[in-house]
Structure 1
Amino acid sequence: MPAQQDPAEDAEHRTATVEQGRFCAARCSCGWRGPARRARSKARTDAEEHSAHP
């Protein structure tokens, strides 16, 4: 019987940034959350890095 893969592993990672008061954080559809950042650009970079290397 072949090994079954978790469907979440094959799913596309969809990231977004979320405002939290003075901070911004990256989040992903897989459940991953980046650290809160003051700079939106850094939160976007966190999301891009996660999408490239989930």
Structure 2
Amino acid sequence: MTKGLSINVTADTNNLSAKLRVIAKHAIALADELEAIDHESREESDESESIL
């Protein structure tokens, strides 16, 4: 006889799926905003270097 641990997990996958879609949407928006900040920062850095 093999001994072991068994766990059953019940989840509302429709609800979980909706929550994960919202998280993904906001993560993409955050990544886009951070990329825009980096782009602006690089432009400002390039402009200040050309003044020197």
Q: Which has the higher contact order (CA 8 A, sep 6+)?
A: 1
Structure in which a larger fraction of residues adopt helix: 2
Give 1 or 2: higher strand fraction: 1
Larger radius of gyration: 2
